[in-house]
Structure 1
Amino acid sequence: MSPLFDTVLVANRGEIACRVIATLRSLGIRSVAVYSTADAGARHVREADTAVCIGPAAATGSYLNIDAVIVACQASGAQAVHPGYGFLSENLAFAQALSDAGITFIGPNIEALNVMGDKIRSKNHVAAAGVPVVPGISEPGLSDADLIAAAPGIGYPLLIKPSAGGGGKGMVNVFSPGELPAALATARRVAASSFGDDTLFLERLVANPRHIEVQILGDTFGAVVHLGERECSLQRRHQKVIEEAPSPLLTDAPDGAAIRARLGAAACAAAASVNYTGAGTVEFIVSNDAPDEFFFMEMNTRLQVEHPVTEMVVRVSGESLDLVEWQVRIAAGEALDFDQDAVSLEGHATEARVYAENPAEGFLPATGTVVALDESVAGREGVRVDSSLMDGLEISANYDPMLAKVIAWGADRAQSLSRLDQALAHYLVLGLPTNIEYLRLLLADPHVQAGHLDTNLIERKLPGMKFRAISAKEYAVAPWALDAKPTSLAQVAARQAGQAGAPAAEPPRPWERSDGWRLGEPEPWRSVWAAPGRTGVVTVSGNRGRGVMEGPGVVNVSGLGEGPQEVSADGLLNDYHFAHQGDTVFLGSGGWSVELVHLDRDAATARMIAGLQRADAAADPQLRSPMPGTVTVVNAATGQRVEAGDVLLAVEAMKMEHQIVAPMAGTVHIGVAVGVLVKADQIVASIQEDTPEGE
């Protein structure tokens, strides 16, 4: 057995950096974290044995800065680098720079990176090795004109794919010739921004497709084994959301075992064709209607986000295995000590990706600070959590919005899905919007439960998904959640009104008091709370006695567009997790969460006036950025006339581009430029609407 490394640098961040550091610790290897200035307080920095700052918040100046990572290796004495996934994990120049510096890259060899790192080159290469590929055109240097000319011969619908990178970035479905030119422009822009390479190619869009990938391991002595398949068909915008192992398609198919063997053999052949070393994944597109028909899509020359589901079901001679450990051992020169016959699958595992995003607002990336966190579900039977979250952690717009992964194993698929749903119901992140409620809705879908999946299922299901709306109950909880010590809402009202505590020995004159004193019954206490799209007015009435308000614990909530509602306060707090930051209250229950902001009189009045104005307007002439990010495109100039629906500009954040379109015809004023950083809800443009003739 070859000696392992003494020190390994982890060239990544977030949950994958924490996960790699944990394995290095178990192997007795000293770990080195790298971080940007934005990640100085990050969890992976705290968990590593030592850490080195490599640059500013922007990834291009830090996590993608090859020279800075090499310098960090030399300064820390790292003998090897684990790249995680994303960033430099599949970067040929990075692997070469490490080799030139005498540092081991814990990943595949240069040949594999060179061939498989380019989708065009890899597709042509594996086709020559006998691996089936999707019909299309995949040649280097194709211009938009070349692709448009080739499209009719391939046939619609088409899929535009960037040659470099992965994760669904820059992939666009095209259903008609008229859509193709604009789709190519968007795909090139996203590919250039995400991967530094705007090369594109076209493939036939397979109807009812399933995305199934095969995990492989290869050593430096020519041995290659596969570790079964993963089902990754539940995707949104080509980004995986829920993954599982093994694939229910193959589990349920009469000849599923034979198909699994053929898939595994094809994956091993693709890997062997480039002398692959380490852990890798070969991805296939499989026909839902004909499971025995599959096509090579690409090979990911790195660890995958979804690797935990493989680790939870694969057994080697009856024992579990750690893929990161085997990456390290192979990079250190060890040979695989098992063959294909020793590999078996046990049970079923399902993984859900927890993102900082707002499903009810088109899944826009979200930012914020973690004000409450509970990941104790990791202690439940069969449940694993891979996370980098901490209380107080700030989630910025600089990086990918994935926060954590919740994984559940079961003896069969039904138990795995049930355990995952319950784990998500009790997994708590407050302080920013997340997709946890959406994940639970997806898991509950009858098609998902039955294993009838395809890569378009989420897009079909989304319009019918019923996200929970904010109700009077949540508004009623909000005042209490600001201070959970009082025993009734009335006491909270009293405290906020300045009445709490023992009365003064000689009460001031009535007109000198500031607690709303008046003859007769006390003035009901009133507060206004704003949630996304709604504003609720909470009123608490009660009798004054011994300096506190003593009421029945019933509040009235109005202003929700559905009339005043009385809500009993008794036991409400038991139904919610809550936290507050200043005058903002965060409530969560069963994966659902909401942010409620307490409005003072001026803010409440301003919101009311804005609402009245909005009722009289067909569209808002002020265009706002829906998320914090960077302006990447500006298509119009101030003073230019635009039509309703024209794309005026685009904002990119967390690897997502959002286009801002004109809601009306008129003369535009642009308030930002390309490269400018904008905040969420910042006004970026405005339109002076055309005045109808005769007015």
Structure 2
Amino acid sequence: MFDTVLVANRGEIAVRVIRTLRTMGVRSVAVFSDADADARHVREADTAVRIGPPPAAESYLSVERLLEAAARTGAQAVHPGYGFLAENARFARACEEAGLVFIGPPADAIALMGDKIRAKETVRAAGVPVVPGSSGSGLTDAQLAEAAREIGTPVLLKPSAGGGGKGMRLVRDAAALADEIAAARREARASFGDDTLLVERWVDRPRHIEIQVLADGHGNVVHLGERECSLQRRHQKIIEEAPSVLLDEATRASMGEAAVQAARSCGYRGAGTVEFIVPGGDPSSYYFMEMNTRLQVEHPVTEFVTGLDLVEWQLRVAAGEPLGFGQQDVTLTGHAVEARICAEDPARGFLPSGGTVLLLREPQGEGVRTDSGLSEGTEVGSLYDPMLSKVIAYGPDRETALRRLRAALAETVTLGVPTNAGFLRRLLAHPAVVAGELDTGLVERVVDDLVSPDVPDEVYEAAAAVRLDALRPRAEGWVDPFSVPSGWRLGGRPKPAAFALRVPGLDPVTHACAGDARVAPGRVDVTLDGVRHSFHRAADWLGRDGDAWQVRDHDPVAASLGRAAHAGADSLTAPMPGTVTVVKVAVGDEVAAGQSLLVVEAMKMEHVVSAPHAGTVTELDVTPGATVAMDQVLAVIAPTEEADG
């Protein structure tokens, strides 16, 4: 076994790998960019090395700096985690050439399975069914569009070199193919440095089921059962579970064997995942989608139901050990479900968010595990992936696991950074989810029922109570009644103090405390209409049951001046904190309603900002490469007389 392992990643996966290294008695080396100098993974490792400035291209994606860090610390092996360089064949080869063990599959297997086009051809030859789609690599835009028309819409555009849903585009209208191909290429180039695309038939209401495999260097390959990953947004998973309620034992065995054959076809070694698309109405008709040649985000659910530590087995296989068990020894016991906590706003189309973690509470306990890279004070910016942590629950059956996970999400507090925790708790209680009637489009169909633009009255009540408490005199002894914000006045009826409050994105509200309140550090309890409501609090944030609200003081004068600055025009604001990557207009340009004007990218996601109406660009406050904050004004479009009327 190795003495020292460098973890070439950040965040929750780095913390997760370090945990197993510590258990095995292996020294861990963390790496960090300037943005992560005080990050949790840095503090928990045995030693840490700075590898560059915040941009990933100059730090976590720099092969040379990672190898230098390994050499400086005497590391014998490198664990890539997932994301960044985890599926980069060049990095795997560079590790080998530097005398380091890459804790993952051989570079040739990464290269083969990382090219979705070659991967499909390889596994098809091994007898594994694949999704119908385009053939050949390096197709032009015109060839992709022609292949899509031959298949028939709807179709799915996919980057050949990618994963994690980045650059994927579902196209239902053939007229939109040109724009969607261009956007998919742009995202693929930005995320993977390769804009090669393929096109596949879209399976309506599909289920996404993947098989975990383990292979050693002695010819042994086993599968560890399946994970159901059908609950997704933007083609990215947010809830995963093991096992799937869809599969019977015969289908599980068949898909497992297909996954084993896929792994053998590329000479695989280590932990990997074979992903299948499955028609919900006919689970026996499954199709190979791709193979992820790394550890998966959702690996904890497999660990719960098999009792295996997958990171430990990655290390053992990389050190040359054979698997200590065969397929007949693998059993699945109980049920596990995982929820990904992401810095995003489900009410705004799951757009990325950001901020500073002011108060953090992460659940633990019987059957509950939290994998996290967070700590109080963590800055969540737009440079890296929006996933912050994972909450996993296990039980003897699915009902128990779901119940435990909903309770754990209610205990999750991440004040200062908007997250999806409350949304996930409600999603897990949706009748279709409880019944196991899942498909990859379910989240998009039900999202409007699970989010609300309205803020509960008790939130404003709690915010007003905090402000009222701050005004109370703290001196002991006699207190001048006129100095107490109780509304008391000589000879008159008390008038409660009222506060102008505003939740970003919503109209201001004037609220006076109408009930009893108890304010304490980090907490506020209010009783409204006989019901007690308890909130976590930090600065101007309030949180409850996984949800959180930022409630600011409202200054009507400042707001009025802000509106006056753009009187007679409509301002376009940044939908999320990020970087402007494309600017398609200039001041003075005439634009049509719905015309694409700018592209903002954050956390590996693109968002197109379009003209709300026909008009003239009178202001343009950004250039390509500019960093912008959420709601920052990007441009102003003065409406034409016709549009204005």
Q: 2:543 aligns with which of 588, 594, 608?
A: 588
Structure 2 residue matching 1:165: 3-state secondary structure: coil
Aligned counterparts of 1:60 and 1:120: Cα–Cα separation in 2: 26
Q: Are the counterparts in 1 of residues 347 and 453 from structure 2 also a CA contact under 8 Å?
A: no
Match of 2:177 in 1: 180
Q: 1:345 aligns with which of 332, 335, 343?
A: 332
1:367 pairs with 2:354: yes
1:448 pairs with 2:420: no
What TM-score does the superposition give when structure 1 sets the normalisation length?
A: 0.87
1:639 pairs with 2:588: yes
| One-letter code aligned to 1:134 | V
Structure 1 residue matching 2:418: 3-state secondary structure: coil
Q: 2:509 aligns with which of 525, 536, 551?
A: 536
Q: Are the counterparts in 2 of residues 226 and 268 from structure 1 also a CA contact under 8 Å?
A: yes
Describe the superposition over 1:84-129 as per-residue Cα deviations: whole angstroms up to 9, x where unpaired.
Answer: 0000000011111111111110000122111101111111111111
Structure 2 residue matching 1:474: 3-state secondary structure: helix
Structure 2 residue matching 1:408: 3-state secondary structure: strand
How far residue 374 of structure 1 moved from its aligned partner, in angstroms, is 1.3
Match of 1:679 in 2: 629
| One-letter code aligned to 1:628 | P
Sequence identity of aligned pairs in percent?
54
Equivalent positions of 1:446-525 (< 5 A) are 446-467=431-452, 469-481=454-466, 492-495=470-473, 502=477, 520-521=491-492, 524-525=496-497
Equivalent positions of 1:130-529 (< 5 A) are 130-250=127-247, 256-314=248-306, 320-375=307-362, 377-379=363-365, 381-467=366-452, 469-481=454-466, 492-495=470-473, 502=477, 520-521=491-492, 524-529=496-501
| One-letter code aligned to 1:607 | A
Match of 1:126 in 2: 123
In 2 relative to 1, CA 145–430 (structure 1 residues): closer, same or farther, beyond 3 Å? same
Aligned counterparts of 1:395 and 1:610: Cα–Cα separation in 2: 27
Q: Are the counterparts in 2 of residues 437 and 467 from structure 1 also a CA contact under 8 Å?
A: no
Equivalent positions of 1:600-615 (< 5 A) are 603-607=555-559
Aligned counterparts of 2:517 and 2:115: Cα–Cα separation in 1: 64
Match of 2:523 in 1: none
How far residue 465 of structure 1 moved from its aligned partner, in angstroms, is 2.7
How far residue 478 of structure 1 moved from its aligned partner, in angstroms, is 1.2
| One-letter code aligned to 1:285 | I
Q: Are the counterparts in 1 of residues 49 and 69 from structure 2 also a CA contact under 8 Å?
A: yes
Q: Are the counterparts in 2 of residues 472 and 536 from structure 1 also a CA contact under 8 Å?
A: no
Match of 2:533 in 1: 575
Q: Are the counterparts in 1 of residues 339 and 424 from structure 2 also a CA contact under 8 Å?
A: yes
In 2 relative to 1, CA 605–114 (structure 1 residues): closer, same or farther, beyond 3 Å? same
In 2 relative to 1, CA 693–360 (structure 1 residues): closer, same or farther, beyond 3 Å? closer
Equivalent pairs counted in the alignment come to: 635
Aligned counterparts of 2:551 and 2:83: Cα–Cα separation in 1: 35
Structure 1 residue matching 2:360: 3-state secondary structure: strand
How far residue 464 of structure 1 moved from its aligned partner, in angstroms, is 2.9
Structure 1 residue matching 2:331: 3-state secondary structure: strand
Q: Are the counterparts in 1 of residues 527 and 533 from structure 2 also a CA contact under 8 Å?
A: no
Match of 1:77 in 2: 74
| One-letter code aligned to 1:575 | H
Describe the superposition over 1:333-360 as per-residue Cα deviations: whole angstroms up to 9, x where unpaired.
Answer: 1011111000010011110101111111
Aligned counterparts of 2:484 and 2:294: Cα–Cα separation in 1: 69
Q: 2:51 aligns with which of 48, 51, 54?
A: 54
Q: Are the counterparts in 2 of residues 479 and 492 from structure 1 also a CA contact under 8 Å?
A: no
More divergent stretch after superposition (180-189 vs 383-392): 383-392
Equivalent positions of 1:38-53 (< 5 A) are 38-53=35-50
Q: Are the counterparts in 1 of residues 578 and 628 from structure 2 also a CA contact under 8 Å?
A: yes
Aligned counterparts of 1:634 and 1:183: Cα–Cα separation in 2: 17
Unaligned stretches of 5+ in structure 1? 251-255, 315-319, 483-488, 542-551, 556-566
How far residue 152 of structure 1 moved from its aligned partner, in angstroms, is 2.2
Unaligned stretches of 5+ in structure 2? 519-525
Q: 2:604 aligns with which of 638, 651, 655?
A: 655
- Higher alpha-carbon Rg: 1
Describe the superposition over 1:9-54 as per-residue Cα deviations: whole angstroms up to 9, x where unpaired.
Answer: 0000000000000000001000000000000110000000000010
Describe the superposition over 1:639-690 as per-residue Cα deviations: whole angstroms up to 9, x where unpaired.
Answer: 1100111110010001111111101111113221111111111111111211
Q: Are the counterparts in 1 of residues 279 and 286 from structure 2 also a CA contact under 8 Å?
A: yes
Aligned counterparts of 1:592 and 1:107: Cα–Cα separation in 2: 38
Describe the superposition over 1:206-253 as per-residue Cα deviations: whole angstroms up to 9, x where unpaired.
Answer: 122111000000001111000000000111110001000011101xxx
Describe the superposition over 1:308-364 as per-residue Cα deviations: whole angstroms up to 9, x where unpaired.
Answer: 0000001xxxxx210000000100110111110000100111101011111112211
Describe the superposition over 1:379-410 as per-residue Cα deviations: whole angstroms up to 9, x where unpaired.
Answer: 2x111111111112111111111111111111
How far residue 278 of structure 1 moved from its aligned partner, in angstroms, is 0.4
Aligned counterparts of 1:369 and 1:513: Cα–Cα separation in 2: 34
RMSD of equivalent CA atoms = 2.7
How far residue 611 of structure 1 moved from its aligned partner, in angstroms, is 7.8
How far residue 414 of structure 1 moved from its aligned partner, in angstroms, is 1.0
More divergent stretch after superposition (258-267 vs 357-366): 357-366
In 2 relative to 1, CA 234–500 (structure 1 residues): closer, same or farther, beyond 3 Å? same
In 2 relative to 1, CA 609–22 (structure 1 residues): closer, same or farther, beyond 3 Å? same
Structure 1 residue matching 2:246: 3-state secondary structure: helix
Aligned counterparts of 1:37 and 1:287: Cα–Cα separation in 2: 46
Aligned counterparts of 1:628 and 1:322: Cα–Cα separation in 2: 37
In 2 relative to 1, CA 539–151 (structure 1 residues): closer, same or farther, beyond 3 Å? closer
How far residue 502 of structure 1 moved from its aligned partner, in angstroms, is 4.6
How far residue 576 of structure 1 moved from its aligned partner, in angstroms, is 2.2
Describe the superposition over 1:41-93 as per-residue Cα deviations: whole angstroms up to 9, x where unpaired.
Answer: 10000000000010111111110011110100011111100000000000011
| One-letter code aligned to 1:9 | L
Match of 1:25 in 2: 22
Aligned counterparts of 2:573 and 2:476: Cα–Cα separation in 1: 45
| One-letter code aligned to 1:35 | F
| One-letter code aligned to 2:534 | Y
Match of 1:629 in 2: 578
Structure 2 residue matching 1:630: 3-state secondary structure: strand
Q: Are the counterparts in 2 of residues 648 and 662 from structure 1 also a CA contact under 8 Å?
A: yes
| One-letter code aligned to 1:164 | A
What TM-score does the superposition give when structure 2 sets the normalisation length?
A: 0.93
Structure 2 residue matching 1:5: 3-state secondary structure: coil
How far residue 481 of structure 1 moved from its aligned partner, in angstroms, is 3.4
Q: Are the counterparts in 2 of residues 116 and 301 from structure 1 also a CA contact under 8 Å?
A: yes
| One-letter code aligned to 1:576 | S
| One-letter code aligned to 1:687 | I
Aligned counterparts of 1:693 and 1:113: Cα–Cα separation in 2: 54
In 2 relative to 1, CA 150–515 (structure 1 residues): closer, same or farther, beyond 3 Å? closer
Q: Are the counterparts in 1 of residues 465 and 513 from structure 2 also a CA contact under 8 Å?
A: no
Aligned counterparts of 1:118 and 1:404: Cα–Cα separation in 2: 29
Structure 2 residue matching 1:89: 3-state secondary structure: coil
In 2 relative to 1, CA 128–480 (structure 1 residues): closer, same or farther, beyond 3 Å? same
| One-letter code aligned to 2:263 | A
In 2 relative to 1, CA 73–667 (structure 1 residues): closer, same or farther, beyond 3 Å? same
